[in-house]
Amino acid sequence: MFSSEAVLKQALETIELEAQSVAGLKAFVNDEFVKAVSLIHESKGRVVVSGIGKSAVIAQKIVATMNSTGTPALFMHAADAIHGDLGMIQPDDVVIIISKSGESPEIKFLVPLVKNFGNPVIALCGNDKSYLATNTDCFVNSTVDKEACPNNLAPTTSTTAQMVMGDALAVCLLELKGFTSRDFARYHPGGALGKKLYLRVSDMSKMNEKPQVKEDARIREIIYEISSKRLGATVVVDGNNVVKGIITDGDIRRMLEKHDEPNKLTAVDIMSANPKDIDESELAVLALEKMREYDITQLVVTLDGRYSGMLHLHDLVREGLI
């Protein structure tokens, strides 16, 4: 019989067990863990990660994380390895084999074959007495006390522990390589994440019109420039293209409310001096932060201190940064 209380109770117990298992991994960050990091860091080859069953799925995730953080890696299914895929292992590669029990027939068959190649083998295993743990060059312990499964059978906390240890290895290697956000952007050019890391202000502002008027421009010219360029504002520049101010739609409305003879006014009389600006070489995400900080929808774009263009909030929305 379905019971909301029972569902909530089981879900909370699962999360608690998983959290306890992850916390328990701290005891296994030891000399063997350091050795594993060292073997990979000093290697001139790639990391080949293998496993079977649920551990194979975790292996694929670890490979994906390593590849995206600067450590070349590839996945080799343990069952396929003994039917030809061993050929993907090159002389300088380091091999990580993942298993909860360390006693699976495929794993016990695979280990000596890889060792015969002379490659270093790292065991990521939840059984320190197992064949895998005791017959490899390095043992990274991922032991858990209990699976979250009520029958203590389905891999749950054990696979979480494997994934966390894999993340720990990848992040340590990332730090050793001095991997930066710029490097990350090279490997993640797609989607909103990639755009936050590589999209520059100039990439968007150069696609826009460039509204501008001189300091002595009259109201008719100002309104025409704002309307025709469709960015809700125009920049006021001097004869050297240095930004002196900005006039927005709102400035025009406020000016009309205050003055009975607006035709006598010039751009200098209407503009807001010292507008918020950004260099065109800056990341677009910084432009978004500025717009949010000052609660504005336009930023003046500059190059070497001179007017280069304008960026609108809609540009950031269009690129998926918001």
Binding residues for Zn(2+): 77
Q: Can you read off the two tokens belonging to residue 195?
A: 């755009």
Over the Cα atoms of the chain, what is R_g?
30
Interatomic CA distance for residues 117 and 87, integer angstroms? 10
Q: Residue 30's Cα: distance from chain center in Å?
A: 28
| Start-end of H helices in the chain | 4-24, 31-42, 54-68, 78-81, 105-117, 131-134, 157-177, 181-187, 191-198, 201-205, 219-229, 249-258, 267-270, 284-294, 313-318
Assess contact for 52 and 78: CB atoms under 8 A: yes
Assess contact for 226 and 232: CB atoms under 8 A: yes
Interatomic CA distance for residues 66 and 169, integer angstroms? 9
**Three-state DSSP state, 230:** coil
Assess contact for 37 and 169: CB atoms under 8 A: yes
**Three-state DSSP state, 104:** coil
Q: Which residues are annotated as a binding site?
A: 77
